[in-house]
């Protein structure tokens, strides 16, 4: 089965994991801080906290920032549910901002329209599919309207903005990542928060492990709890894999870009397809290859396309059902669908076709061949 995404694990990754399995610490050992250091070196942040996954990273970030009832946090509806569940799980209220219909990213003009009317405490922008948002505009708005800017960069490790691979932390106050197997690099499950704000990262580190404070040399059993916490720790086994995978990030992204180029070359002349584009000064890392299909102009609907592909051993996906259309969000929040028309239009057309390092040429041709048959 060819999935829309998958990991690439090589011999050196396996060796790194085995070495840690044979060491004294499977968790709470030195690999955790070593991985944090490597992440800082790679992405340019001063401080980093690695956690059990991207979802727990977003959750504790909101908690550390003190989000509470009646706080409005703006985000995009075209993302994985975790980027808005973190708002709700911290008792705050999501405010959905529509996407730009060319880039599929949060639209800064529509955000400003909202900012003029409402006080927004923070904005979670998502570099959807691996294409950087308009960070210059978002950062300008963050200063003008005084809100905290978060880059949910779970899709965009390895992307570039104005030739800068460390752009995420240059523009956003906080950056979150995910190391799920479909992402650019993996630790199985894993995530991180990066920031130049030591206080917030320290708070997250504390909450990652039950908020237990204890460092008495005289009374080594003693700990105290000033606030509640979680067990959102990541293991040393996972961090050993992460350290090994991080070395390969640039190679993996080059491979993803080659696959994207192949798809674009083969599909560009078909008018029923809208292909992902790359804005000037942006380097797409193609976590996803979102293909938009005018289903009203082809003989198969989306369900039929999925079924046909599955019969041929290709598992497609949709990224994403707009979050504001989820029953929970519809029931609990006032949503103005008129303001979110681009997101809903995008959803009607989107399918994600396989893209990952290690996919074989013959598999790519199989995908192209099937796509040409839906005419």
Cis? peptide before 320, omega within 30° of 0: yes
CA 310/CA 166 separation, integer angstroms: 38
Contact status, residue 176 vs residue 151, Cβ threshold 8 Å:
yes
Binding status of residue 104 toward ligand PLP by CB under 6 A: no
Q: How far is CA 49 from the centre of its chain?
A: 16
53, 76, 103, 187: residue in contact with ligand PLP (rule CB under 6 A): 53
Tokens 């219909």 appear where? 101
Cβ distance to ligand PLP smaller for residue 182 or 359: 182
Contact between 90 and ligand PLP per CB under 6 A: no
According to the binding rule CB under 6 A, does residue 124 interact with ligand PLP?
no
List helix spans (H) across the chain.
11-21, 30-43, 54-64, 82-88, 108-117, 135-144, 167-171, 198-208, 236-246, 249-267, 302-311, 327-332, 341-349, 361-372
Place of tokens 């190679």: 251
Nearer Cβ to ligand PLP (61/111): 61
Of the two residues 7 and 371, which places its CB atom closer to ligand PLP in the complex?
Answer: 7
The answer to whether 88 contacts ligand PLP (rule: CB under 6 A) is: no
Strand stretches in 271-337, DSSP E: 273-274, 282-283, 290-293
Q: Is 370 in the site for ligand PLP (CB under 6 A)?
A: no
Q: What is the DSSP string of 120-135?
A: -SEEEEE-GGG----H
Shortest Å, Cβ 242 to ligand PLP: 12
- From first CA to last CA, the distance across the chain in angstroms is 23
CB 93 within 8 A of CB 87: yes
Site for ligand PLP contains 178 (CB under 6 A): yes
Nearer to ligand PLP, 238 or 371 (CB): 238
Helices vs strands, H then E, count in the chain = 14, 14
Q: Measured between alpha carbons, how far is 51 from 29 in angstroms, rounded to an integer?
A: 14
Chain centroid, CA 104 distance in Å? 14
Q: Is 191 in the site for ligand PLP (CB under 6 A)?
A: yes
- Asked if 6 interacts with ligand PLP (CB under 6 A), we say no
Kindly tell me which residue out of 5, 45, 54, 77 binds ligand PLP, with binding defined by CB under 6 A. Answer: 54
Interaction of residue 285 with ligand PLP, rule CB under 6 A:
no
Which residues between 140 and 159 bind ligand PLP (CB under 6 A)? 152, 154-155
Q: Pick from 17, 82, 169, 185 the residue near ligand PLP by CB under 6 A.
A: 82
Q: From 31-39, 77-85, 217-225, 345-353, give the range in contact with ligand PLP by CB under 6 A.
A: 77-85
Q: Give, as ranges, the residues between 237 and 256 that touch ligand PLP (CB under 6 A).
A: none
Number of chain positions touching ligand PLP (CB under 6 A): 14
Task: Please report whether residue 288 would count as binding ligand PLP according to CB under 6 A.
Answer: no
Near ligand PLP by CB under 6 A: residue from 83, 84, 151, 187: 83
Task: Please report, as ranges, the residues that interact with ligand PLP according to CB under 6 A.
Answer: 53-55, 79-80, 82-83, 126, 152, 154-155, 178, 180, 191
């Amino acid at each position: 089965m060819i999935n829309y995404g998958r990991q690439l694990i090589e011999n050196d990754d396996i060796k790194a994991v085995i070495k840690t399995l044979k060491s004294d610490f499977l968790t709470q050992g030195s690999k955790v801080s070593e991985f944090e250091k490597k992440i800082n070196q790679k992405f340019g942040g001063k401080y980093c906290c690695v956690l059990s996954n991207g979802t727990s990273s977003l959750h504790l970030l909101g908690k550390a920032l003190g989000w509470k009832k009646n706080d409005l946090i703006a985000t995009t509806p075209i993302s994985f549910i975790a980027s808005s569940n973190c708002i709700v799980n911290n008792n705050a209220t999501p405010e959905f901002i529509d996407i730009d219909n060319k880039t599929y990213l949060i639209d800064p003009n529509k955000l400003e329209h909202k900012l003029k009317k409402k006080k927004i405490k923070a904005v979670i922008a998502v570099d959807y599919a691996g294409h950087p948002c308009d960070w210059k505009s978002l950062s300008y708005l963050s200063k003008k309207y005084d809100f905290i800017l978060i880059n949910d960069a779970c899709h965009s490790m390895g992307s570039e903005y104005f030739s800068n691979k460390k752009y995420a932390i240059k523009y956003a106050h906080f950056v979150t990542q995910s190391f799920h197997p479909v992402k650019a690099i993996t630790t199985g499950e894993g995530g991180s928060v990066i920031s130049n704000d030591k206080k917030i990262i320290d708070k997250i580190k504390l909450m990652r492990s039950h908020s237990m404070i204890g460092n008495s040399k005289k009374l080594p059993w003693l700990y105290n709890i000033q606030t509640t916490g979680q067990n959102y720790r990541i293991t040393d086994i996972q961090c050993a894999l992460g350290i090994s995978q991080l070395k390969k990030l640039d190679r993996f992204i080059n491979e993803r870009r080659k696959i994207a180029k192949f798809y674009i070359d083969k599909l560009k002349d078909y008018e029923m397809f809208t292909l992902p584009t790359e804005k000037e000064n942006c380097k797409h890392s193609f976590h996803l290859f979102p293909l938009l299909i005018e289903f009203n102009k082809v003989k198969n609907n989306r369900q039929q396309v999925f079924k046909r592909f599955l019969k041929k051993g290709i598992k497609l996906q949709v990224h994403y059902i707009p979050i504001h259309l989820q029953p929970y969000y519809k029931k609990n929040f006032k949503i103005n669908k008129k303001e979110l028309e681009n997101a809903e239009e995008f959803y009607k057309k989107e399918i994600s076709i396989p893209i990952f390092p290690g996919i074989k040429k013959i598999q790519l041709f199989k995908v192209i061949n099937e796509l040409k048959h839906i005419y």
